[in-house]
Amino acid sequence: MTHRVTWLRVAAAVCVAGAALSAAPAHAGMFDDNEARRAVLDLRSKSDNLSSQLAAAQRTILDQSARLDQLNQQVATLTGQNEDLTNRLTTLERQQKEYYTDLDTRLKKFEPQQETVDGVQGTVQPGETDAFSAAQQQFRNGNFKAAAAAFRSFIAKYPQSPYQPSAQYWLGNAQYALRDYKGSTATWQNIVRSFPQHPRAADALVAIGTNQLEQGQKAAAKKTFEQVVSQFAGSNAAQTAQGKLESIK
């Protein structure tokens, strides 16, 4: 009986030990699976975290790219506006310059100006040149009566004008064209008296001599032409007078 009990105890111990040995590898396997599972989960967590960070970085890059495009558009718009403003400013400056140039031109018409008339410089009052030109145009058109009236008006209105000798000379020509020989001679003689050194004085003397010659006053004409040759030697008028002298017989 005692041996049976001992054997039973030994058998039980062997079973327990066997059970323990068989249970140990199973527990170890379960431990290895949990560690691997945790490692996988950790890797997944890290991967998800990196994916989130990457997505955030991509969103940031896209946002910055969009902002850069917007800034480029703004720069392009500002550049266009700047060019437009520059063009407008250039246009305004040109218009302003043209305005002041035109204004200056207009104002000068109301101010005395220095001009050279028949080689002689003098002060021309506003309106003088236009009035003289208008009278000359009447003469060119063959309107000698109107020309004579215009030159008389000019002579009376602008007594100090540098155009005076020329105005009187052309008045004499208009009178001559109207066959007022006495009046034309008187007008030309006034030039010789009032402006003895003026170039028109030589022309007036030639005209007087021609008038005298046509009226048969050869002696007087010869004397007049000789005066021109002597007083205005080398001038066109002197050459004309010399030719007239040679034609007198």
* Mean pLDDT of the residues in the chain: 85
Q: For residue 20, is pLDDT > 60? A: no
Task: Give the pair of three-digit tokens for residue 208.
Answer: 């007087």
**Dihedral angle of Cα 70, 71, 76, 81, to the nearest 10 degrees:** 110
Per the rule left: phi > 0, alpha: psi between -120 and 50, beta: everything else, 125 is beta
Which of 27-41, 87-101, 205-219 tops mean pLDDT? 205-219
Alpha helices in the chain (DSSP H): 2-108, 128-140, 144-157, 164-177, 181-194, 199-214, 218-231, 236-247
Q: What confidence tens digit (pLDDT) does each residue in 219-234 have?
A: 999 999 999 999 999 9
List 133's β-bridge partners, or say none.
none
Distance, in Å, from the CA atom of 149 to the CA atom of 152, rounded to the nearest integer, reads 5
150's CB contacts (< 8 A; 6+ apart) are 131, 134, 135, 138
Q: For residue 5, is pLDDT > 60? A: no
The kind and range of the H/E element at 127 are none
Q: What confidence tens digit (pLDDT) does each residue in 174-200 have?
A: 999 999 999 999 999 999 999 999 999
Place of tokens 């998800």: 48
Task: Give the pair of three-digit tokens for residue 107.
Answer: 């104002």
Q: How much is the pLDDT for 14?
A: 47
Q: For residue 29, is pLDDT > 80? A: no
Q: For residue 210, is pLDDT > 80? A: yes
For the chain, the straight-line distance linking the first and the last C-alpha, in angstroms and rounded, comes to 203
Task: Give the pair of three-digit tokens for residue 119.
Answer: 């080689």
The answer to whether 176 and 149 are in contact (CB under 8 A) is no
